[in-house]
Amino acid sequence: REIGLPVAVISNAKQRVLEATLSAVGIKPEMVDLIAGIDTVKSNNYEPKPAGGSYLYGVHKLSEILGREIHPEHCIGMEDSNSGYESLINAGIGSRIFCQNADGKVPEDASHVIRPHEDMSRIHTRLLNGAATISMMTKSVFGPPERHI
């Protein structure tokens, strides 16, 4: 967001758990443009992951917030599970990043793969290709939410 790219954090965690997890690791609401948990997604009539609705909700809300249309194919999505990655595909997210998890299975069509314990600052520099949004599952980047609450 520091460089002008809008950022959304979308998760299948409940809204309050997601916000508490982000807060526990130092990510404040003003640091991102949108935080949406599963209950927020469902209450706005979007189908959550693995359907593409969570990401489509994020794209729709970012369009509203920014006052300009954002298209899913111009977005970057980051996921750590195969079902979450499937939701990126279902939403038509153009660049898909997969955070490799313990099972080691990596989708063949991932734009980028983040290996366990890879330096996030290096990843940040690789993402700066004019994308509209970055969305991530908190457990891959920060560990399970239960550890932070």
pLDDT band with cut points at 50, 70 and 90 for residue 140: very low
What b/e string do you get for 75-93 counting C-beta neighbours within 10 Å, with b at 16 or more? bbbbbbbeebbbbbbbbeb
Question: What's the maximum distance between 2 C-alpha atoms anywhere in the chain?
Answer: 40
CA dihedral 19, 26, 28, 82 (to 10 degrees): -50
Half-sphere exposure for 51 (CA within 13 Å, toward CB): 11
Q: Which of 8-17, 25-34, 123-132 has the lowest mean pLDDT?
A: 123-132
**Is the per-residue pLDDT at 101 higher than 60?**
yes
Helix (H) or strand (E) holding 84: helix 82-91
> What is the percent of the chain with per-residue pLDDT over 70, rounded to a whole number?
72
Q: What is the pLDDT of residues 1-28, one digit of tens each?
A: 566 788 999 999 999 999 999 888 888 8
Give the CA distances from residue 89 to residues 16, 66, 97, 99, in Å, rounded to whole numbers and listed in that order: 27, 24, 11, 15
Q: What is the pLDDT of residues 58-90, one digit of tens each?
A: 999 999 999 999 999 999 888 888 888 899 999
**Is the per-residue pLDDT at 117 higher than 70?**
no
pLDDT band with cut points at 50, 70 and 90 for residue 102: low
Residue 83 is predicted with a pLDDT of: 85
Q: How far is Cα 84 from Cα 145, in angstroms, rounded to an integer?
A: 17
Q: How far is Cα 83 from Cα 79, in angstroms, rounded to an integer?
A: 9
**Structural contact between residues 11 and 39, judged by C-beta atoms closer than 8 angstroms:** no
User: What global pTM score does this model have?
Assistant: 0.73
**Average pLDDT for residues 118-126, to the nearest whole number?**
52
